[in-house]
Structure 1
Amino acid sequence: MRGRTIRLRLTLLYAAAFFLAGAVLIALMYFYLNQSLERRPGVGAQKVVREYLAARAERTRTPVSEELYRALIDQAEQNRRDTLRAMLVWSLVSLGAVGIAAGGIGWLMAGRALHPLQRITATARRVADTRLHERIALDGPEDEIKDLADTFDAMLERLDRAFDGQRRFVANASHELRTPLTINRTLIEVALDAPDVAESTRMLGGTLLEVNHRHERLIEGLLLLATSEQCPTEHRGADLADLARSAITVATSAAGQTGVRITADLRTAPVLGDPLLLERLIQNLVDNAVRYNLAEHGWVSVRSRSAADHAELTVDNSGPAVPASEVDGLFEPFRRSLSAERLADSGNRGAGLGLSIVRSVAQAHGGAVRAVARPEGGLTVTVDLPLAGGHGKQQPAPPRPVASVP
């Protein structure tokens, strides 16, 4: 039964129950008929045969031999056996024919009985796209399937309220947390602009500005992480190649300061989703690749392409060796590699949310991200996203010229 649909299992159970009941009925009929027909001609039958033969002998004045009597008895026994055999054969043939028809009827009945479950499944699949406002609202008798549908509707109601509350919290936190930090930054900058500020105060103000800036980046990362864990509310066409070019342009300044060389081999990779979140995904990958790199002669490679039914973005970078046991943990919030102290940009450490945001954005768009430690050092991070429209295999666009940032 394992691996078969519940409709097929129910049909097989119906057919098995029918065949079992039919076999029992045939066995009872055979036993009853066998008992009704005398196993051998009894005393009554012998008396009737003898009287018949005696009357015939008296009319014809011809004696009846014992052999003729035995032949008549044997013929009666043979007729009894033939009757039982014919009844058994035709009963089994009829059971097989009616059993096949019962299996077909069972298949139709099972499909009709399971139709509400198909409706529940279809609603659950639509709800997976964050359309939590939908309900099953199943009509029908108060049975177990309706109880299941009502329970599912109640769960959707609670989830809808929870997601609405989360969205409101993110919107409120975006304002309530950023506003005090913005005010603090403004006050510190205004105070430092005064001409009579002592040098020690300026140093303290610079430290406070750096701390304030770090808190702003931390809050921005946390809010973006909370937003990216939800399915995108905007579905527009975007090309990973174009988004990667924009991300490389933004990272050019930081790459130039650290001496990291960025190369790109970008082929068309159309996807559907929120272009801002997807651009942030690529930006985080490129920023991490630049930041966690070698102090000298570092490099970053960015590639995009369409493969089979998915779009693929790959970011390679040089850098210190990363143990394979640490790779999975890099996608957890506030987790960094233990080798981060040897990075080219060690003085500007992030909040530890970059790859967490990458994974959340990829999963929210129905994709996945994986990382592999390179034997020579550094990482290879690959993001797979569904192609726009769910197309089958597409012909890749011709490769564009390789861009490099010295």
Structure 2
Amino acid sequence: MLTAARARAALRGRLARIPFRARLAAAFGGLFLLAGAGLLGLVVLLARRGITQRLDAIEVSGGDAQPGDGQSMSPTEPSPSAASTAPDAGVTVPSGDGIALRKVVLNAAQSVSDTAVQQIVLWSGIGLLIMTALSALLGWWLAGRALRPVAAVTDAARSISEQNLHERLRLTGPDDELHRLADTFDTMLDRLEKSFDSQRRFVANASHELRTPLSVQRALLEVGLADPLPPGLADVREDLLTSNRDAERLLSALLLLARSDRGLAETDPLEATDLAALARQTVGELRPSAEREGIELTLDVRPLELDGDPVLLRHLLTNLVRNAIQYNEPDGHVHVTITGRTLTVTNTGHPLADDQLARLFEPFQRLGQERTATEGHGLGLSIVRSIAAAHGATVTAEPGTPGGLTVRVDFLGDRWFRER
């Protein structure tokens, strides 16, 4: 029992791996084969029955015929003019050999009927197989057309993210089950878009509202704890100011993340920006901090002009390079390159596991404590991904050899490039 149950479960598992379209086409072909086989069996049965009835009629008609019609006949010398006729069969046989000849005729007729039935079964079977294959192909085509809206829903579900929740299927056609499925999917996207917009507004508003009291707090600390201070309060003041600046940087990062998450609409004004010039400017600003940590910062860029938001693109570069400096090792290096439409930032550091790569771009992720700087809140690569998505770019990360990380940003959308 257990073995049979496992066999059935394995069979169901194998069947479940077959695409639904193939299963539907196979069902069409199987139904046609069953219907054709049933029709062929009925035709053969009726043909055999009709032939049998005809042969019985021939035998009865031959048995009722009387030899000679009053003429004298010899069994060994039959007269050619004296004959018995089987009227139903249309065959005239000599009366002296009537019984034997009737048997010959019946055997020949039976042989011909068997051969005819065999030929009917053979060629009808071949035709049935051909038509079954054609019906399966037709079923494959019909299934593809019928499942086209489902494929559209699947493709949309794969491509939809928090960056393009405004997209909709807007399926046209009759009001059937597939149309209602697409409408339900669009309604779900409406709810998700409202939820994400509400979350972004909350983050932006909360960050904005908190910046003012933090600024006031910093001013009070600077004024209220101005020099000269009693012994011991100077260190307290520096700790408070450091904590205040750290909170302000966190709020600024959250505001930047909320802004980039909104994306760039088709109507947003874009500026021609040279990404290579921004990279040189960013590397120049961060080089002193890299030198303090003993990090070698190198640059190899080619001109890359695109239409975008220069402020966001500068933050993208700043966060990439700063992250490469912070998550490094003593006497390490950071290399920034721009080739074609690809920006690459490579650094040295400790090896990263595959499961850690999947978490790199999540907010507030700081993988381990092996880094050269203690600043940061784990938002750098989240901001990079958000800004890149707003500019139609993709971000990928690969572990370096023997350690470190390579982050690549590919600008692919034609919207961001034009003839100069």
Pairing of 1:188-227 with structure 2 (within 5 A)? 188-192=221-225, 201-227=233-259
Residue 130 of structure 1 pairs with residue 164 of structure 2: yes
Give the Cα–Cα distance (whole angstroms) in 1 for the partners of residues 125 and 68 of structure 2: 44
Cα distance, 1:251 vs structure 2: 0.7
Contact 1:362 1:369 in 2 (8 A): no
Pairing of 1:20-169 with structure 2 (within 5 A)? 20-38=34-52, 41-42=55-56, 44-52=57-65, 54=67, 60-61=81-82, 63-65=95-97, 66-92=99-125, 94-96=127-129, 98-99=131-132, 102-103=135-136, 105-107=138-140, 109-121=142-154, 124=157, 127-128=160-161, 130-132=164-166, 134=168, 136=170, 140-141=174-175, 143-169=176-202
Contact 1:178 1:219 in 2 (8 A): yes
Residue 185 of structure 1 pairs with residue 215 of structure 2: no
User: Which amino acid in 2 is paired with 1:280?
Assistant: H
Cα distance, 1:146 vs structure 2: 3.5
Contact 2:356 2:367 in 1 (8 A): no
Q: Structure 1 380/360 Cα, relative in aligned 2: closer, same or farther at 3 Å?
A: same
Give the Cα–Cα distance (whole angstroms) in 1 for the partners of residues 101 and 398 of structure 2: 98
Contact 1:272 1:387 in 2 (8 A): no
Cα distance, 1:92 vs structure 2: 3.3
Contact 1:271 1:311 in 2 (8 A): no
* Counterpart secondary structure, 2:147: helix
Instruction: Give unmatched runs, 5+ long, in structure 2.
Output: 1-14, 72-79, 83-93
* Counterpart secondary structure, 1:382: strand
Higher mean C-alpha deviation, range 325-334 or range 285-294? 325-334
Q: Structure 1 390/380 Cα, relative in aligned 2: closer, same or farther at 3 Å?
A: farther
Q: Structure 1 164/380 Cα, relative in aligned 2: closer, same or farther at 3 Å?
A: closer
Cα distance, 1:126 vs structure 2: 6.9
Q: Structure 1 261/116 Cα, relative in aligned 2: closer, same or farther at 3 Å?
A: closer
User: Which amino acid in 2 is paired with 1:248?
Assistant: V
Q: Structure 1 49/322 Cα, relative in aligned 2: closer, same or farther at 3 Å?
A: closer
Contact 1:270 1:387 in 2 (8 A): no
1 or 2 for the larger relative contact order (CA 8 Å, sep ≥6)? 1
Equivalence for 1:381: 406
* Counterpart secondary structure, 1:152: helix
Q: Structure 1 36/381 Cα, relative in aligned 2: closer, same or farther at 3 Å?
A: same
Give the Cα–Cα distance (whole angstroms) in 2 for the partners of residues 374 and 90 of structure 1: 68
Cα distance, 1:14 vs structure 2: 1.6
CA RMSD of aligned residues (A): 4.0
Equivalence for 1:266: 301
Residue 300 of structure 1 pairs with residue 320 of structure 2: no
* Counterpart secondary structure, 1:81: helix
* Counterpart secondary structure, 1:383: strand
Cα distance, 1:74 vs structure 2: 1.5
Cα distance, 1:171 vs structure 2: 2.7
* Counterpart secondary structure, 2:338: strand
Per-residue CA deviation, residues 332-352 of structure 1 (Å, 9 max, x unaligned), is 524243333xx3xx4x52223
* Counterpart secondary structure, 2:52: coil
Contact 2:152 2:169 in 1 (8 A): no
Higher mean C-alpha deviation, range 80-89 or range 50-59? 50-59
Give the Cα–Cα distance (whole angstroms) in 2 for the partners of residues 85 and 305 of structure 1: 74
Q: Structure 1 24/266 Cα, relative in aligned 2: closer, same or farther at 3 Å?
A: same
Give the fraction of aligned pairs with identical amino acids, expressed as a percent. Answer: 33
Per-residue CA deviation, residues 68-116 of structure 1 (Å, 9 max, x unaligned), is 2322112221232233234324533553565466456545543443343
Give the Cα–Cα distance (whole angstroms) in 2 for the partners of residues 315 and 379 of structure 1: 8
Larger Rg: 2
TM-score normalised per structure 1: 0.74
* Counterpart secondary structure, 2:336: strand
Q: Structure 1 121/272 Cα, relative in aligned 2: closer, same or farther at 3 Å?
A: farther
Equivalence for 1:172: 205
Contact 1:269 1:387 in 2 (8 A): no
User: Which amino acid in 2 is paired with 1:337?
Assistant: G
